[in-house]
Chain A
Amino acid sequence: MPLLELREETVGYSGTTVLRDLELDIAQGERIALVGESGAGKSTLLNLIHTRLGETAALVPQELGLVQALTVFHNVYMGRLHQRSIWRNLRNLLKPAKIDVDLVIPVLQRLRLDDKLFTSVGELSGGQQQRTAVGRALFHPGDILIADEPVSAVDEHQAREILDAITAEKPTVILAMHDRELAIQFADRLIGLRDGKVALDVQAAGMTPADLDDLYRNTDR
């Protein structure tokens, strides 16, 4: 029984079609990497998946969606806002409670961000902000994680660390990635998009970056 069955003729917004003839099944426990050129429809597919899964899935959007004026603690804590009472949330907004700080710290330690616990996100570098957004998704109680290019702003070493943290915490993971090599290493299933269609859907084991070349070749129009 798959976690999600997608059967859509067209997907898009405000009149423009981005994805066509979509037929995808996603099972519990899969680690999926979405690959393809920018504009191929990766973000649209991720948003669709997130909409269908609802509250059980944590999301790291490409633009991160962080609140710059709040600290790293607050932004990560936001992953569980919906589980807490409004009073506890307000209390934490004014003065973080120790019990919640202690819950957030291990997440930040995994991401090597624990020294920035009470720094405003606006003061962080691009890579640190990206790790904060991943932290928020890891802190989210759901066991599915959907992320759009979550390691685009960090170096390769850190990227591996972050991906390790994600796979350790969340059983089901769906990522859009532009680094083909990293995608093959991380995922057990590769879904390639091209011109709004699923052009590739294979096991990652045994694939090489060159096998994905077709997805990136220019189309003759």
Chain B
Amino acid sequence: MITRPEPSPLGRTTTTFVGIAFICLIFADVAITTVDPWEEFRRLLLGLVTPDFYATDSVVLAIAYTLAFALLGVVLANAMGLFLALLFFSRIVRTGCAVVRAVHELFWALIFLQMFGLSPLTGVLAIAIPYSGIIAKVYAEILEEANPAPLKVIPAGTSRISAFFFVRMPDVWAHFRSYSMYRLECGIRSSAVLGFIGLPTLGFHLETAFKEGQYSEVSALLILFYLVIATMRIWMKRPLMPVYLIGAAAILPWGIAFSSAHIVRFLTEDIVPHPLRTGAGWEAFWDWLNMMVVDQAIPGTIATVQLTMIALVATGFLTIVLFPLISPLLLGKASRFCGHIFLVVARSTPEYILAFVLLQLWGPSMLPAIIALTLHNGAIIGHLIGRYTETVSLRQDASTGFNRYFYEVLPRVYRPMLALLFYRWEVIMRETAILGILGIATLGFYVDSAFADLRFDRAMLLIAITALLNIGVDAISRSVRTRLRLQTSLEQQ
């Protein structure tokens, strides 16, 4: 008897997620509301092809500040992350790291802004704190996967510290180094985006230039930014590290003062829920909490989840379109070169900047956010999958063209692609929340409004809810990955 084909677990999961995303899309507001979006787009394109590097003297300084925040933040995060990774056996450390990395660096920046004002400490800590949580987790995983055999053969009685530096460190050093390079790249992107909330980095100048319609200046800023990231592996040499660090510390304006009384007040009074602070009692507190949840947390959460699901599935679709651009199984050398350039640009542009640009062009709706998240994340996963196909060898008589793509290549990369996609789910959600700052009604919108109204108690509550949501999605994603036996080791390449 012939058995009918049964949908595979991968197929079922795919269908479920596509279905959910479709329902989310039906209820999403994706209208273009600007009067003449294409005229503005034409001017933007014109500006992009006519970069003006002399528009302001501040272009170089903006890049320098961007790099300085990123370097100091990532180096600090590396040190703290390594230390925490060694303590990762402790449940408290693991939970602490999970909480710390569930809060996006922009939210951290908004918090530190209240405490330290525009002092460089705000930018450095906003990067260093969440990144230590991420780095601790990744380093702990690398240490766990390291070859255990050498540890068994060292003489009994060797101190743990000696054992660590002689046996463990040499083994994992290369992994740590390549991962911290990747983190530095992320750090530069984060640092650029911090400009949007007032720090003197690239984002600040980008926003100003954009609002004034100075598209040639926008173009110059972006080109320099891409160049810095694309050439990172050339200028980032270990012997030069002390020079860079001293340089970074020297150029940042540490003179900006902040008052410790202010910090104490923020931590002990401002963030305490208003009814409790004024002594209005627990009943008033429950009313306050109820109001917050019903009016802000629930609508914000719905929009965040909705946007996340649409962006997640759209990213998957875009990935299977983009990875062939750099796959030697499918394209020749010349086409792949162009593909590489496109993917580098798309993944180097922070989604926040992309969303900002599209919002200016199309007006406020979910559309700019969907496109921005999809393009950025699709390019990242597309790049990893394209690189992965370099390791796949096909039989000599394999079919060509579309047949090769659909029958030989796509089935082989589908599983690793889903693994990466689910791994990125949490990242997409964190970004989605943040895009609210730009005016899309996700949780970030309510957080930003609370900060603007100086209602820090509300802001902290909403940030806590956002963090919980991220931790929840992370847990769901992990269980889906375990159930489908999806490996994620591609992520760190």
A residues contacting B by CB (< 8 A) are 47, 50-51, 57-59, 61, 63-65, 67-71, 73-74, 78, 81-82, 86, 89-90, 93, 95-96, 101, 105, 114-115, 117-118, 120
Q: Are B407 and A58 in contact (CB under 8 A)?
A: no
CA–CA, A64 and B396, complex, Å? 10
CA–CA, A115 and B406, complex, Å? 25
CA–CA, A81 and B409, complex, Å? 14
Say whether B182 faces chain A, with CB atoms less than 8 Å apart: no
CA–CA, A62 and B415, complex, Å? 25
CA–CA, A93 and B10, complex, Å? 14
Contact of A95 among B5, B401, B406, B412 (CB under 8 A): B5
Q: How far is the CB of A217 from chain B (nearest CB, A)?
A: 31
Q: How far is the CB of B371 from chain A (nearest CB, A)?
A: 27
Chain A residues near B407 (CB-CB < 8 A): 67, 70, 74, 78, 81, 89, 93
Q: Are A117 and B397 in contact (CB under 8 A)?
A: no
Q: Are A65 and B411 in contact (CB under 8 A)?
A: no
Contact of B412 among A67, A86, A89 (CB under 8 A): A67
Chain A residues near B401 (CB-CB < 8 A): 86
Contacting A at CB under 8 A, from B404-418, are 406-408, 411-412, 414-415
CA–CA, A96 and B5, complex, Å? 8
Chain A residues near B483 (CB-CB < 8 A): none
Contact of A117 among B2, B394, B395, B406 (CB under 8 A): B2
Contact of B394 among A57, A65, A71, A114 (CB under 8 A): A65
Q: Are A50 and B397 in contact (CB under 8 A)?
A: yes
Are A114 and B2 also in contact (CB < 8 A) when A59-B397, A81-B403, A82-B399 are? Answer: yes
Chain B residues near A47 (CB-CB < 8 A): 396
Q: How far is the CB of B467 from chain A (nearest CB, A)?
A: 36
Q: Are A63 and B395 in contact (CB under 8 A)?
A: yes
Contact of B411 among A50, A63, A69 (CB under 8 A): A69
Q: Are B4 and A89 in contact (CB under 8 A)?
A: no
CA–CA, A93 and B399, complex, Å? 14
CA–CA, A117 and B399, complex, Å? 21
The 9 closest A-B pairs by CB, nearest first: A65-B395, A118-B5, A69-B411, A59-B397, A81-B403, A81-B399, A67-B411, A86-B402, A61-B395
Task: A61-B395, A115-B1, A118-B4 given; name 15 further pairs at CB < 8 Å.
Answer: A65-B396, A65-B397, A67-B408, A69-B412, A70-B407, A71-B5, A78-B399, A78-B407, A89-B406, A93-B407, A114-B2, A115-B3, A117-B2, A117-B3, A118-B2
Chain A residues near B400 (CB-CB < 8 A): 82
Name which residue of chain B comes closest to A58, CB basis. Answer: B397
CA–CA, A78 and B2, complex, Å? 20
CA–CA, A47 and B397, complex, Å? 10
**Most central of A70, A81, A86, A89 by chain B CB within 10 Å:** A81
Q: Are B403 and A105 in contact (CB under 8 A)?
A: no
Chain B residues near A86 (CB-CB < 8 A): 401-403
Contact of A59 among B8, B396, B399, B406 (CB under 8 A): B396
A-B residue pairs in contact (CB < 8 Å), sample of 29: A58-B397, A61-B395, A61-B396, A63-B395, A65-B395, A65-B396, A65-B397, A65-B398, A69-B10, A69-B411, A69-B414, A69-B415, A70-B407, A70-B411, A71-B5, A73-B5, A74-B407, A81-B399, A81-B403, A82-B399, A82-B400, A82-B403, A86-B403, A90-B406, A93-B406, A95-B5, A96-B5, A114-B2, A118-B5
Chain A residues near B2 (CB-CB < 8 A): 101, 105, 114, 117-118
Name which residue of chain A comes closest to B2, CB basis. Answer: A117
Q: Are B396 and A118 in contact (CB under 8 A)?
A: no
Name which residue of chain B comes closest to A68, CB basis. Answer: B412
Chain B residues near A117 (CB-CB < 8 A): 2-3
Name which residue of chain B comes closest to A51, CB basis. Answer: B396
Say whether B6 faces chain A, with CB atoms less than 8 Å apart: yes
CA–CA, A71 and B396, complex, Å? 21
Chain B residues near A73 (CB-CB < 8 A): 5
Chain A residues near B10 (CB-CB < 8 A): 69
Q: Are A118 and B412 in contact (CB under 8 A)?
A: no
Binary interface encoding of chain B residues 373-407 relative to chain A, with 1 for a CB under 8 A from any of its CBs, else 0: 00000000000000000000011111111110011
Chain B residues near A59 (CB-CB < 8 A): 395-397
Q: How far is the CB of A79 from chain B (nearest CB, A)?
A: 9
Name which residue of chain B comes closest to A60, CB basis. Answer: B395
CA–CA, A63 and B412, complex, Å? 15
Name which residue of chain B comes closest to A140, CB basis. Answer: B397
**Most central of B10, B398, B401, B407 by chain A CB within 10 Å:** B407
Q: Are B5 and A89 in contact (CB under 8 A)?
A: no
CA–CA, A105 and B406, complex, Å? 22
